[in-house]
Amino acid sequence: MAENGGLSTSRGSYGASEFDGVDVESSTEFAAVPDAFQRLWTPHRMVYIEEGQQPQEHACPFCIAPSMSDGKALIVARGEHCYVLLNLFPYNSGHLLVCPYRHVATYDEATPEEVAEIGSLTQTAMTVLRTVSNCDGFNIGMNQGRIAGAGIAEHLHQHIVPRWALDSNFFPIIAGTKAIPRLLGEVRAEIAAAWPSDHSD
Ligand SMILES: [Zn+2]
């Protein structure tokens, strides 16, 4: 196979280990994948670009994530029935998702054990996010069904979005641009380090 040198394949040139196992794209590679919603800096999108932009029918990202390393899947904590990971498309830095391991779509399909652990992991996430980020409040909830805004409607997930008093600015409205100020790998490592290790006991 001849190398023509015309296409860079060295996406590891940033040094993935720097971000705790999360691969990052170069700015030139990202510039070749434009979309209508401009982003100032979005290294987290590489995970979806690698996997194909939309999850395939038999490739639910919330089913696959637990089989990957924490760093690669952006997982911050694993419980007995559910786990917690960073959202790839965060509304804010530290935007977490709590998912059951089982592939169930809606809250009423979750077992009592899953419901209880979604609750307890959500409480722990609030405590941890308050500690590491000094947030002033949270938006917490579930979109049930695509019509209600669920991006991955097939697999139940609860959003936990930390909020700060000054986090809403004119950017998303005026410029169609949302600034995500911190790299996801960095944020994941910080939250995982602050997560109490005895949670699921
Ligand atoms: Zn699933």
In a domain, 132, yes or no: yes
Contacts of 132 (CB under 8 A, 6+ apart): 94, 190, 191, 194
The rounded Å distance from CA 61 to ligand 1 centre is: 6
Mean pLDDT of 101-125: 97
CA distance 43 to 23: 8
Compute the distance from residue 73 Cα to the ligand 1 centre, in Å: 14
The average confidence (pLDDT) of the chain is 74
* pLDDT for res 182: 67
Is residue 159 included in any domain, yes or no? Answer: yes
Tell me the mean pLDDT in the region 155-172: 78
Instruction: Note if the pTM is more than 0.85.
Output: no
Does residue 130 sit within a domain?
Answer: yes
The confidence score (pLDDT) of residue 29 equals: 40
In a domain, 121, yes or no: yes
Assigned domain for 126 exists: yes
Number of domains in the chain: 1
| The two three-digit tokens of residue 131, written as one number | 């500690």
Q: Is pLDDT of 34 > 80?
A: no
What CATH number should be reported for the domain holding residue 57? 3.30.428.10
CA of residue 194 to ligand 1 center, whole Å: 27
Distance 158 CA to ligand 1 centre (A): 14
Residue 152 binned pLDDT confidence (cut-offs 50, 70, 90): confident
- 87 CA to middle of ligand 1, Å? 15
- Which range marks the domain in which residue 77 is found? 39-194
- What number of other Cβ atoms are within 10 A of residue 86's Cβ? 22
Query: Is residue 93 assigned to a domain?
Result: yes
The most confident of the ranges 24-38, 49-63, 96-110 is 96-110
- 6 domain-assigned: no
- Mean pLDDT for 48-68 is 69
How far, in Å, from the CA of 157 to the mean position of ligand 1?
Answer: 10
Catalytic annotation, residues: 157
Residue 112 has pLDDT above 80, yes or no: yes
Q: Pick 181 or 192 by higher pLDDT.
A: 192
Tokens linked to 27: 């700015």
Q: Which residue has the higher pLDDT, 105 or 18?
A: 105
Which two tokens mark 168?
């809403």
Task: Quote the tokens at residue 119.
Answer: 């609750």
- Report the pLDDT value the prediction gives residue 3, as an integer from 0 to 100: 40
Residue 15 domain-assigned (yes or no): no
Beta strands in the chain (DSSP E): 38-39, 75-78, 82-86, 96-100, 137-141, 158-163, 177-178
Residue 171 per-residue DSSP state: I
pLDDT of residue 63: 94
Predicted local distance difference test score (pLDDT) of residue 92: 78
Tens of pLDDT along 116-151? 999 999 999 999 999 998 898 999 999 988 888 888
CA 88 to chain centre: 3
Pick from 34-48, 74-88, 165-179: least confident = 34-48
Mean pLDDT, residues 191-195 taken together: 95
